[in-house]
Amino acid sequence: MKRRDFLKTSMVGVGAAALGSSLEAAQTIQPIDNRRVSKVAFPEKRPMITYSDRPPLLESTRDVFAQGITPNDQFFVRWHMPEIPTHIDEKTFRLSVNGEVKNKLSFSLDQLKNDFEPVEVTSVLQCGGNGRSAFKPVAGGVQWGNGAMGCARWKGVRLRDILERAGLKKDAEWIGFNGLDNAAYYETPNFVREMHIDELDDHVIVAFEMNGEDLPYLNGYPLRLVIPGHYSDSWVKMLSNLTVTSKYQKLFFMDVAYRIPDNDCECEEPGQKFKTTKPIDRMNVKSIIGYPTNNTIVYHNSHITVRGVAFDEGKGIRAVVVSTDNGKTWKEALLDSGKEGRYAFREFRFRFKPQKHGKQTIMSKAISLDGKEQPLASQIKWNHGGYKYNGVDVVTVEVV
């Protein structure tokens, strides 16, 4: 910690103390990890941790992250609107392109699959609120554990290629994305997202395939926007419409939701909202242990292979380090080849032989190529939306 940071922190501490006990002091702990999967399976999914059926909110369990590719039927689900089409006819479905374009076009699924160069990218998809249950006092929103994320091989066409076909007009600045989900009330804002033309690179694709299959309905069949490195709030599902505009449109899901304090620590004190905010934008560096899971019973002196995944916004992972002595010392884990590319989960593994009986913690910390590393949960400061949790992962097993 730099001295200036320390001073700032202590000032905040004094401030909170002076205000007395009416304000609950913020602290960050490990996200809730013991939630059980539901007895009920959703369409094309295995039973998952289920927060809501309408809109569907499903979370992957920790063990899913022992592997670098998340199976479609275990991939997390998050919708914002209660009305989701339960049937899409692949023959009549169209993706429309309109607004500030030379030719207003609409494409069938067959056209998208056959008339464009297909491209593939392996990328992590993570909710900005993943791990939100770590924040105390409770930050508004779904109290996710660690499993509002996954990594898949996405196949589709470049957004740029689609827009080129339509031809952008000179004053085109923003692209608005809308899907087929709807609110219960006409007045409720649609889940529309916007992207500035400058952010458009070749990695942004309109995907029609996920891990070699159609996208599951609950993950956005038949088309979904894929924006590697960015949180999933921009990855519009059941994408049906692209509107190009010259001016930014005011939108709830852009201007109010999915925003964090616009300061260096991206933090604020509970009850004292920081006055300016910014979008959650790109993902920070993170690792999760997929095996063992909490409360696993392992034998003393047995050989354990700890497995997990690490990722960041696409800068790349330099190392994952593991500690089995509560963070006193750290050893490097083995990383996979990285052949899935810089936006994908990197698998790590670490051999470990527990020597002592009783509770044993295993901690993992990812370090990115640009030198960023995961802070301890307790070092992460509060924000009102509970976004971007990326604490060092901790799993506790029982050695017998």
Partner 1 sequence: MKKIILALTLLTTLSFAQVKEDIAVPYIPYEVKMGKNFIDVQANCLSCHSFGYIINQGPQSRKFWAGKVKKMIVHFKAPIDKKTANLITDYLAAYYGNGK
Residue 165 φ then ψ, to 5°: -60, -40
* DSSP secondary structure, 83-106, as one string: B--S---TTT-EEEEEESBSS-EE
Closest distance of CB 216 from partner 1, Å? 8
Across 298-323, b (16+ Cβ under 10 Å) vs e yields beeeeebebbbbbbbbbebbbbbbbb
373 lies in the binding site for partner 1 (CB under 8 A):
no
Binding track over 285-324 against partner 1, x by CB under 8 A:
----------------------------------------
Interface residues for partner 1 in 205-264 (CB under 8 A)? 213-214, 216-218, 221, 252, 256-257
Q: Are 362 and 395 in contact (CB under 8 A)?
A: yes
- The closest alpha carbon to 235, from 183, 179, 279, belongs to 179
Q: Smallest distance from the beta carbon of 276 to partner 1, in angstroms?
A: 19
**Of the two residues 32 and 119, which places its CB atom closer to partner 1 in the complex?**
32
Task: Give the integer Cα–Cα distance in Å for 155 and 157.
Answer: 7
* CA distance linking residue 96 with residue 178, whole number of Å: 10
Which residue has tokens 């939701």?
A: 257
Contact status: 115 vs partner 1 (CB under 8 A): no
Site string for partner 1, 148-187 (x = CB under 8 A): -----------------------------------xxx-x
Residues belonging to the chain:
400
Closer residue to partner 1 (CB): 219 or 368: 219
Contact call for residue 352 and partner 1 (CB under 8 A): no
140 sits near partner 1 (criterion: CB under 8 A): yes
How near is the Cβ of 293 to partner 1 at its closest, in Å? Answer: 21
By CB under 8 A, the residues from 33 to 72 that bind partner 1 are: 38, 40-44, 50-57
Beta strand segments in 219-285, E:
224-226, 239-245, 259-261, 277-279
Member of 142, 265, 335, 369 binding partner 1 (CB under 8 A): 142
- Residue 143 touching partner 1 (CB under 8 A): yes
Going by their DSSP bridges, the two strands 94-99 and 119-126 should be labelled as unpaired
**Total residues in contact with partner 1, by rule CB under 8 A:** 38
Among 5, 90, 115, 202, binds partner 1 (CB under 8 A): 90
Q: Other CB atoms closer than 10 Å to residue 339's CB: what's the count?
A: 8
Residues that bind partner 1 (CB under 8 A): 38, 40-44, 50-57, 82, 84, 86-87, 90, 138, 140, 142-143, 183-185, 187-189, 213-214, 216-218, 221, 252, 256-257
